[in-house]
């Protein structure tokens, strides 16, 4: 998979990249393009149906929902769920802020740690690469269990009830290390590094000026998935946070929905101790689901340009 870029091919590519509009040879035929567009539209509509149902039911009145169940168009509109939601706003706002900070910090940490680790083990001349690869990989399969993890994070590392709890446990991922290693191997050939080193560049310079630009799509992928992972993660909060002021966003919705499910499932065992009537209504749950998705849906569009742009930058740097 070594794609060595000779000077000639780079030149050709530069010329071509400037004249992108003229890539008639590579473009799809209009028929194929039209067909694929149509296909995509259908697929997207289908994929959106469940989301549509959720959004619609969040603005349906509770009475209509109970009477008729979920429908494609509400019999009766009502924004009660949202007003109710914003009345309980303070916890949600805190959770939003916590999650945003945690996502930013965690993503940064993840990209740095994963990037460095993967780079190290992708170099053939790294003596311990097999050891470190295995060291990371082993943890993907074997774990000490929940109780042990709980004990270590709370009693040894003591990160509970803090913002650290929300992202530190997610700040590194052996999975992405291994994926990035493949990416580095493919995109950052040893010859390039060697030639730079022979030119007298320091490791730091090599990393920043050569490796980084070449690995941008990969790192962008890691950043994207880490950001989403941390945003969506409720487990860290579940295990490590007791105090409302450190709640994460997904945890609040998860807890609400899961509490309801738990109480409904166990109603017979608890002999009616809990008055299930006071649980949040269905429309409220839907509204929560909508609201907690939040800005993360813009994460992908944000990162998209790195996927498309990546190679151009690399080639120019040559």
Residue numbers 251-280 binding other proteins by CB under 8 A: 252-279
Stretch binding other proteins (CB under 8 A), from 75-83, 96-104, 157-165, 193-201: 157-165
Q: State the DSSP H helix or E strand holding residue 169, giving kind and residue range, or none if neither.
A: none
Restricted to residues 108-137, the positions that interact with other proteins (CB under 8 A) are 112-114, 116-117, 119-121, 128, 130, 132-137
Residue 111, CA distances (Å) to 13, 103, 116, 203, 318 in order: 29, 12, 8, 19, 24
Q: How far is the CB of 81 from other proteins (least distance, A)?
A: 13
Residues in binding contact with other proteins, number by CB under 8 A: 155
CB 160 within 8 A of CB 241: yes
Q: How far is the CB of 199 from other proteins (least distance, A)?
A: 17
Binding of residue 152 to other proteins (CB under 8 A): yes
Plot region of 127 (φ>0 → left; ψ -120 to 50 → alpha; else → beta): alpha
- Which residues, in sequence order, are CB contacts of 110 under 8 Å at separation 6+? 170, 171, 172, 173, 176, 222, 223, 226
Binding of residue 185 to other proteins (CB under 8 A): yes
Q: State the DSSP H helix or E strand holding residue 227, giving kind and residue range, or none if neither.
A: helix 216-232
Restricted to residues 69-98, the positions that interact with other proteins (CB under 8 A) are 69-72, 90-91
Kindly report the number of other CB atoms within 10 A of residue 222's CB atom.
Answer: 25
Binding of residue 212 to other proteins (CB under 8 A): no
CA distance 304 to 307: 5
Restricted to residues 13-42, the positions that interact with other proteins (CB under 8 A) are 13, 16-17, 23, 25-28, 32-33, 36-37, 39-41
Binding of residue 7 to other proteins (CB under 8 A): no
Q: How far is the CB of 195 from other proteins (least distance, A)?
A: 18
Binding of residue 195 to other proteins (CB under 8 A): no
Q: How far is the CB of 39 from other proteins (least distance, A)?
A: 8
Binding of residue 313 to other proteins (CB under 8 A): no
Binding of residue 281 to other proteins (CB under 8 A): yes
Q: How far is the CB of 251 from other proteins (least distance, A)?
A: 9
Q: What is the DSSP string of 243-271?
A: SGGG--HHHHHHHHHHHHHHHHHTTTTTT
Rounded CA Rg of the chain: 25
Q: How far is the CB of 317 from other proteins (least distance, A)?
A: 14
CA distance 69 to 282: 10
Q: How far is the CB of 67 from other proteins (least distance, A)?
A: 7
């Amino acid at each position: 998979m070594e794609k060595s870029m000779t000077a000639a091919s780079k030149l050709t590519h530069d010329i071509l990249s400037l004249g992108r509009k003229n890539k008639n040879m590579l473009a799809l035929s209009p028929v194929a393009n039209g067909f694929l567009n149509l296909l995509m539209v259908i697929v997207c509509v289908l994929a959106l149906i469940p989301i549509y149902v959720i959004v619609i039911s969040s603005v349906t009145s509770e009475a209509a929902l109970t009477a008729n169940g979920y429908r494609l168009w509400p019999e009766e509109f009502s924004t009660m769920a949202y007003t109710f939601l914003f009345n309980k706003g303070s916890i949600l706002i805190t959770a939003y802020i916590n999650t945003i900070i945690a996502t930013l910090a965690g993503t940064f940490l993840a990209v740095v740690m994963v990037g460095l680790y993967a780079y190290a083990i992708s170099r053939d001349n790294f003596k311990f690469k097999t050891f470190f690869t295995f060291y990371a990989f082993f943890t993907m399969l074997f774990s000490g269990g929940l109780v042990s993890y709980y004990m270590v994070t709370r009693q040894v590392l003591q990160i509970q009830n803090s913002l650290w709890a929300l992202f530190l446990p997610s700040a590194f991922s052996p999975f992405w290390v291994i994926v990035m290693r493949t990416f580095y191997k493919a995109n950052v050939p040893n010859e390039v590094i060697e030639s730079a080193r022979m030119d007298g560049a320091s490791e730091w310079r090599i990393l920043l000026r050569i490796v980084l630009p070449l690995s941008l799509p990969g790192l962008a992928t890691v950043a994207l998935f880490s950001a989403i992972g941390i945003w969506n993660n409720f487990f860290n909060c579940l295990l490590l946070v007791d105090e409302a002021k450190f709640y994460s966003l997904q945890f609040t919705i998860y807890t609400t929905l899961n509490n309801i499910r738990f109480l409904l499932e166990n109603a017979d065992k608890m002999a009616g101790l809990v008055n299930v009537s006071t649980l949040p209504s269905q429309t409220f749950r839907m509204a929560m689901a909508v609201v907690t998705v939040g800005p993360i849906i813009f994460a992908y569009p944000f990162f998209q340009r790195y996927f498309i742009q990546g190679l151009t930058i690399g080639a120019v740097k040559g």
